Structure 1
Amino acid sequence: MRRCDPPGGAHCLRARPDRPGIRLIRPRTKARAKEPEPFPESADALGKIFFLLKQNSTVDFSLYKHTTLRRRISRRMVLQRIERVEDYVSLLRSNRDELEALFRDLLINVTCFFRDKKVYTALKKKIVPRLLKGKAEGGEIRVWVPGCATGEEVYSLAICLSEEITRTSHNLKLQVFGTDLSEPAIAKARVGHFPDLIAKDVSPERLRRFFIKTATGYQISRGIRDLCTFARQNLCEDPPFSRLDIVSCRNVLIYLGPELQKRCMPVFHYALNPVGFLLLGTSETVGPATDLFTLIDKRNKIYVKKNVTSTANLEFTAKAFLATRPEPTTNSQTSRAEITMPGPIDLQSQADRIILTQYAPSGVIIDTRMRVHEFRGRTGRFLEHAPGAATLNLLQMVRPGLVVDLRTAIHRALKEDDTVRKEGIPLKINGHPYEVTIAVVPFTLAPSGEKWLLVLFEEGRAIDTEKTHSLAKGGKVSSDGRDTEIHRLRSELGANKQSLQAIIEEQEATNEELKSANEEIESSNEELQSTNEELETAKEELQSTNEELTTLNEELSNRNIEMAQMNNDLTNLLSSINIPILMVDNSLAVRRATPLAEKLFNLIPSDIGRRLSDLKANLTISDIDNMIREVLESLTTRESKVQDMQGHWYSLRIRPYRTRDNKIDGAVITLVDIDEEQQNISRLELASQHTDAILDTVYEPLAMLDADLKVRKASRAFYKTFDLNRKKTEGLHFCEIGAGEWDVQQIRNLLEIMLPKTRRIIDFPVEVNFRRLGRRKLVFNARRLESKEEPLVLLAIEDVTNHQTRR
């Protein structure tokens, strides 16, 4: 093994087998394709998802439990708001991030410290003492946890075993391997940092001894981290570890299909030591692999390895780190010679072998199901395979004459747990009758306690056929009573044989019925086991979903607090703003209103949600619904002036209600108080009317100029006296009217220099040369009118050309 120590302290591992027996096949290297590979022609939607996952992660999910996979895929589709699986396949093909998210979701990482505490209690009572008893000082205990997720179970086993090793004062090394498909989970496991929530699963004493408190949680101590090694591994494809004492594969098989479960059991059997233990989840079993493991704790699902030859298919795909092995340079003859060269001869072993093969009785070793596991000596005289399918069942291999007595002897040996012998059983061997003795010896093997049977066959004396033949023909005998007794015994023997044969046939029929019932029970048991696994899987998913919901609940609680705070702020803001504001949705129903808006629109709390047109507002508005719909359609702001019932003026403004993502979700109606402004406008309009009336009434030429000395208004006498056009005059600078005839330096001095200083000019004489009127003598009286809005200049002009003196 090649190890490297990262800063976290726990080892990272590149695993490969460390003993012979596994044949590695190096994969062909492929160039990374830029374009996505086409789907297989026969693949359905689910198969296409498996194809994409295998391309992205090299993990084949097609043999996993499809019900579980469908639930996890449906969950991702709900999160992505996708209804059709084909659409989700398209998303996966174009979005690598979603493909990674789906891969992480399929690997349900649900675990915790000391999960199912009864299992760890059973581990201390039933497994650890046997392990410690079989280990020499300085030995090593090796543990493997496939599917370790974020490492809680790995650290739990390390803590539990290290406690027992310390308590019993054994000098043993401990190595715990944790593997998983998820790289992020393995990375988190190597760091060994966990949140404060683990305090509910770990006792205060263990927290003190094996953890270090940090600001954000608990850190596994360096001593425990050094015992644990983590690596990414595919349980169904990568080579396993070996020489293991414990394999803890809990709640992993429930996600695998029957084919993968069947493949995993021989792998576990291969990886374990002769006295090795397998820990499964409470809803898991070894299935059909009962010939490889013996159940020693039904409640906690603890199995021990059987010492039988495993027929596992241990051909795994080699990883990139496996280098090509160089071919040996020695020639084949030398290699063959070295291989076949015998070692030192053990005389005692050789003698024992000769005695066992030539002088010991022939026999077989069978289990309680009559299956032969080993042949000893020459058994051809007593055993003969019947025509038909190959079998190792002893009762189907033994010669017909021995079946009844052998069945009875085995039954008694199992029942009484003692050696049973049957002597004088007649059997023809090579055409000659012999008496055969059968001995059945029961025994057990530690540590499993499983029963085995040694069946021995001893060939006795030959039977005198001549005497039997003469007796059968009614030959001469010593007395008639003896003949009668022999005849009676023969009759009784024939009756017993017939009765026994009937019993045997009845027993065989009963056995067939029991076998059929047993098959039905096994089928029901498998269905119940499958259902139980599905329930356990659903439980794991529910736990994972519950954790997600807990996180979402916390987020929603925080959002609710934020929303409540924002709602309070909005309520206070609207209450503080002395402006009537009303919000409606797209159906013109009232959504929210400020207190002033409630008064103007005559709202009560129960009116929230009612249409605005159903309410009788205290405003003179007749077509507000049409105005709102126009705003919603044109997405523009509309403004108009309205009055309440008391004649108070407001500026009604309607604008679209835009959401955060710029969607239209109603309208906002604002009423701005413009009563004072409107009254000022009315007064100005009235003053303007008065001014117009005065200007139209007086006989003297009058002109009103603005701050820029432009003609604002002029009297009728002004236009008539100086022959000017009203439209061409208003809006022009005073010096520019009449085609520039008024552009006289004296007038400019009057308006631009003198008037700003004195604000009033009386009897200012000016001579102006008009084209039509000729040269005229004018007297100007000017006054500057100051105003907040705009200063004005009032000019009174008198023509004194024909007057010698002023009146």
Structure 2
Amino acid sequence: MARFPVVGIGASAGGLPALQALLEALPSDTGMAFVIVQHLSPDHASVLPALLALRTSMPVLEAREGLALTPDHVYVGPPGVRLTLERNTLHLGKTRSTQGPPRLIDEFLGSLAQSAPGRAIGVILSGSGTDGARGLRAIRSAGGTTFAQEPASANFDGMPRAAIDAGGVEHVLPAEGIAAALARLAHGPQAPFTPPLPPSFSSDGSGQDLSRVFHLLRTRTGVDFTHYKSSTIHRRLGQRMRLRRTDRLADYARYLEEYPEECEALGQDLLIHVTSFFRDPESFEAVKQHVFPESFRDRDPSSPFRLWVPGCSTGEEVYSLLICLLEYLGEDVATTSIQAFGTDLSEPALAQARAAFYPESIAADVSPERLRRFFVRGEGGYRIHKSLRDLCIFARQNVVGDPPFSRMDLISCRNVLIYLDPVLQKKVLPIFHYALNPGGCLLLGSAETVGASVDLFSLVDRRNKLYRKKSISYRPHLSFTYREPVTERREDTPLPSRRGAAEQDPQREADRLVLASYGPPGVIINDALEILHFRGHTGPYLEPLAGAASLNLLKMAREGLALELRAAIRQVQRGTSRVRKEQVRVSGREGERRINLEVNLLQASSDNREHYYLVLFEEAPVPPASTAPRGARVQEVRGQRAATRQELESLREELRTTRQHLQTLLQEQESTSEQLRAAHEEAQSSNEELQSTNEELETAKEELQSTNEELTTLNEELQNRNLELSQLNSDLNNLLGSTQIATIMLGDDLRIRRFTPMAQEVLGLSAGDMGRSLLDLPVPLELTDLERAVSQVTRQLTPFEREVRARDGHWYSLRLRPYKTLDNKLDGVVMTLLDVDRLKHSLEDAHQAREYAEALVETMREPFLVLDGHLRVLTANPAFYEAFQVTEARTLGQLVYQLGNGQWDIPQLRLLLEEVLPRNARLRDFVVEHDFDQIGHRRMLLNARRSSGRELGTQRILLSISDVTEQT
């Protein structure tokens, strides 16, 4: 199957201009396939492919079932159809039934991340809502590249902003910038469709360059990625190198040195954030069945239930476990103390976990009942209920290098160990064992096991990877500060290749076989003459004695060999590096024979306190037989026997005496050795007691370190909350100080919580009135039923509004609104006073002026009309009705040209009202002549004035009519 990058593009409202701009700026030879998923109405046929085809030379096709992707083609999803990708083939299906609108973009991007890991590219353009945020996170976690349109350049910034806030976006650019970046990825070095780089990066000196990168990351971020998963390291490094247009690791290392901010970006990329609410629901059910019942059986009510989630990312895992725990406890939750800790290395992820606000897409993972009970709906998403949030503490922690928490009932570390190599896994698992209470449980990811730490944990649920802490007789070695092994190479030393190590193994095996076959047998001993290692067949020289087992060389030596061995070893211990004794007699089952032995001093141990010795044995050569004639030889032998018989007897006597003396010395030495052994045992007993005391002190130290870490974490959480509260308090104070509205926040008991400076001026309040009831204060308002109004607002949740007058005659608009907490709980009222005195008097003046004008119009002797902007009659005085013999019912609201059954449709009048008057604010003595059916021929002088009517918001035309027929 061909490997080429696939670009998934999601858009919604306002996405067409962004799509057109993107395709127009995109080259047609990128080697990528583009799949567009846009929210379209399923009730109408889509013309999107035709519109997009006008902006690109690439073929634009509508997706259909089983269509295989081809590079340099654009595919558009049909309206309202679920689109997925599998093995470079598109599949159509019905949308899944979820809460809210279908999440077509998330579904396609999720399938793209699974089908094309490492070569998937996700793009989110203009749109409202949060669809696409989860899909981009899945692509980024799978090693892909993600883009979002810059919110300022989008017609609707809801989708791009949600994707950015969710932490799944690497690059934020306008549509044209995204096209340029895609072109660079396609044609730059290390293009995304090239085969993955091998672990060695296949370049000279790559080991040194990789060490430089690790050193820079460790210096800048404080995290050592040396023992991180190599495939993840290489994949993420390859992505960053492509984006920076570098094809050599050495060049990228220099780039990191020049631009420290790139270290931060690389470090965040290496920290994988793949999580969601209730991921693998079966694991949470296993926790409910196996962990909670055991933990709360015969539990001390004063002992809190404690859980810890290392690598918590953005907090979904912590909140999911807490939700399951609260559901299990039911009504007992009020009497149960709960403490939850979430730790991670990423500060941005922790900030989102602390904010506890998640996009609307979580409705696909969280049931409606849980959403209603544990979440509060907000603009663009859901916020964790405050009661649940208060149980959690989030802090930055390196699980390898920082002290852990202690006395935990549950640790959930899912999909973290898979990114660590065995060196770190062997370090982390004993830490988890230490942190758990007896019987506490460890929950791992589906692809993780405890590995070599089976002696620390017992399996509870194989399928869901749930383990329980074992009680062990020994104490695992713990080190809360990670250090590289003693044999760690220098930073600038390249890694030895595995091939070189493999080439040495046959040579060592050959040396071992040659030594075993042709080398002399021997043993390696220490200063106490204890045998540490046997070399070759030593049976003819050494044999175990009956009784208690012992590896002491002298006790195992055959008869006749112990004295010579002791003497030779003593000589070497006194400073001689090598001692050889020949023709030493040894007695055995086959009789007496002679051997040669050799004692060599080996190199001292690293602490220079103990020496080691190599003792070798070999058979002495037999003297060659004489070649003299037999008769002469017999005579010679007889002479020698006669001459040496006396000397031989003397030597035997001397030997017997020496043996007795040596036997005495040996007995004395054995007695001394017994005494020394007893003293040694006493010293060893004392040492064991001291070691036990030391272990207790170390345990106490570790507990103190753990407690200190917990306090540090709690302090960090409190500091973060204090900063947030300080910022919110500053914002609130500035807001209240800058507003010119008198606002008072009251509790249910009408006690004052906070007020604005304007309220202080209007009601005469002071700082000392905080906490006092408003009813106890001399409020300068004529309002006697304030308590009843507050009760009405809090009971019925309906706003209250009324105009009230102060004692000095000033008028205000009093408004009462319910005061709601973040948890949507009612906790008092908000009282505002708007200054409406000027408006009140203006309305009164306007009312009086209107009454005066109406009276004036009524008393006018000349006919008078008031027209609106559409030339309809608003007002006519009695003189008009009398002069032109029309009724009020047929006049008011009628178009002026329709008066008198159309008799007022006078050309001169039209000229006046439609052409002359719009260009002049007023007109005097405009002559109009016309024949009326009822009153005959009339000559009239019209005086008109156009009023802007700003106070009333409409235009008015005042028209007076003077009848001058009799004057002609």
Same fold at TM > 0.5: no
TM-score by length of 2: 0.34
TM-score by length of 1: 0.40
Larger radius of gyration: 1
Relative contact order higher in (CA < 8 Å, ≥ 6 apart): 1
